[in-house]
């Protein structure tokens, strides 16, 4: 088995992925759309309730500034 990582944010990456998707369902190719490790961690944190919420953007930015000691 070979793993190929395609950057689907580029024109060439999108083109290659579009071409490969034509073979989806065949027994020789498997296309997985998996999030990266950072996204997986964020999803797990959200599921566990490890999130913060703010009433509005002003409150959010004040909180971010406090954390950054600005």
Q: What is the mean pLDDT of residues 9-19?
A: 95
Cβ neighbors of 31 (< 8 A, separation 6 or more) are: 17, 20, 21, 24
Tell me the C-alpha distance between 6 and 29, whole Å.
14
Q: What is the mean pLDDT of residues 4-20?
A: 94
Tokens of 3: 């793993």
Q: What tens digit of pLDDT does each residue of 28-60 get? A: 988 888 888 999 999 999 999 999 899 999 999
Tell me the C-alpha distance between 29 and 48, whole Å.
35
pTM, rounded to two decimals: 0.49
For the cut 80, the answer to whether the pLDDT of residue 68 exceeds it is: yes
Tokens of 14: 């999108």
For the cut 90, the answer to whether the pLDDT of residue 2 exceeds it is: no
pLDDT (0 to 100) of residue 3: 83
Tell me the C-alpha distance between 40 and 68, whole Å.
25
């Amino acid at each position: 088995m070979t793993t190929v990582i395609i950057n689907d944010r580029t024109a060439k990456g999108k083109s290659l992925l579009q071409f490969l998707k034509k073979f989806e369902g065949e027994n020789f190719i498997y296309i997985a759309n998996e999030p990266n490790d950072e996204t997986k961690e964020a999803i797990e944190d959200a599921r566990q309730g490890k999130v913060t919420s703010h009433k509005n953007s002003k409150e959010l930015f004040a909180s971010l500034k406090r954390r950054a000691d600005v």
